Amino acid sequence: MDKPGTLHRPQRRVLILGYSGMVGSALLEQCIRSDQVYEILCLGRKEPDFTHFKMRWIPSGLQQPGDDAPHYVAIDRVFCALGTTLRQAGSVEAFRQVDYHMVVNAAALASQCYVPYFGVVSSAGANAMSMLPYARIKGETEEALRRMNFHRLSIFRPGLLLGQRIASRPTETLARLTYPLWDWALPRSVASVKAQTVACAMVLDSLKEDQGEDLFDSQQIKLLAKLLPR
């Protein structure tokens, strides 16, 4: 029983997509630590490397939205950290399959099941009119999400993500090694940011109950993350 005067904070059931990636694994860690999350569904191909009483893994290739639909029922928050690179995907269409179709399909299921909150990791420079395939597809994904009926949609646009990836991305590895040489010259809105910082910002943002859409760049992500109690 709560003590008199204690503020009641609702506990939430969340679903994480991309939980094995750099931001996704940090999100999983933050949700486990949060006293406002009572159950975490990890939907994807790879079984997590550890178990926890809050966490449940649901195997899915994320290719058949109809099969995944039941898992979105009675979910309070969806965190989407799905993403690959053009190099890893091997082609623009293969990249689009992950960064557009998988994300948009997941969002559509969440919307249809009346999930009130959808938080997604996009990228600095996302722009549906860009000539660059990566930025264009990220921008098209954002536009598709905005057309859906979420009580709250939050889009996070970090710059270069800092942290340890399980899968090697040579270009990103080189960028992370050299970023101190050039990061200082970038606008704060597109500067590098730690994956853990993005996760902290997403979890804190998801605790809000207000309605609408929010867009967070690197600087805003850093400022928001600082507000999360440690």
Average pLDDT over residues 70-95: 94
Per-residue pLDDT band at 168 (split at 50, 70, 90): low
The CATH code belonging to domain 12-225 is 3.40.50.720
| Type and span of the H or E element at 155 | strand 152-157
Short-list 217, 18, 22, 200, CA closest to 123: 217
Average pLDDT over residues 131-144: 97
Short-list 36, 18, 35, CA closest to 27: 18
Average pLDDT over residues 208-224: 94
Task: Tell me the C-alpha distance between 74 and 56, whole Å.
Answer: 15
Q: What is the reported pLDDT for 176?
A: 52
Full-model pTM: 0.88
Task: Check pLDDT > 70 for residue 230.
Answer: no
Q: Is 229 exposed, middle or buried (0-12, 13-18, 19+ CB in 10 A)?
A: exposed
CA distances from 81 to 23, 176, 196 (A): 6, 19, 12
Domain ranges of the chain: 12-225
